[in-house]
Amino acid sequence: MKTLLISISLMVLLSPPAWCQDSNASSASSDFEIVSAEFGRFPEGKGPRQLPGKEVVFERTSKVGKSGYTYGWKIALNTALKSVSVSEKWDENDKMVSSTKYGVIDGLIYHDWDVVMGTRKGKHSVEVSVNGTPVKKFVYFVK
């Protein structure tokens, strides 16, 4: 009996109090599920800036440089959330981190951008997180 009381006392002393535990630890990922995450291109006029949700035309590729397209990522989510916060870390540079709120339409979020003259050729990357949960590190190559 004495051993049992000592064991229970130790468990209570060594367990952190409820107010010290991170209440968002399990809810961050339980609000949504990542179904897929892809990098590719969007034909001019048919990307996420022009069309909503599933109407967007997306072609999977890791090669960037063909004119008439914008480039970026598409993430499919299983969620009831209307919007999510997305952070992007560019080219493994801690100083180049962006954070934006995206509307979820038809279970999809997108980010596309134009490749401008002067963009460094070669390998690039963007690490994407949704609501603080890492999703994927996309690697692409500018020709």
83-92, pLDDT tens digit by residue? 999 999 999 8
Beta bridge partners of 68: none
Residue % of the chain over a pLDDT of 90: 71
Instruction: Please give the pLDDT value at position 24.
Output: 32
Mean pLDDT of 107-128: 93
pLDDT band at 5 (very low <50, low <70, confident <90, very high): very low
CATH number for region 31-142: 2.60.40
pLDDT band with cut points at 50, 70 and 90 for residue 29: low
Q: What is the pLDDT of residue 16?
A: 38
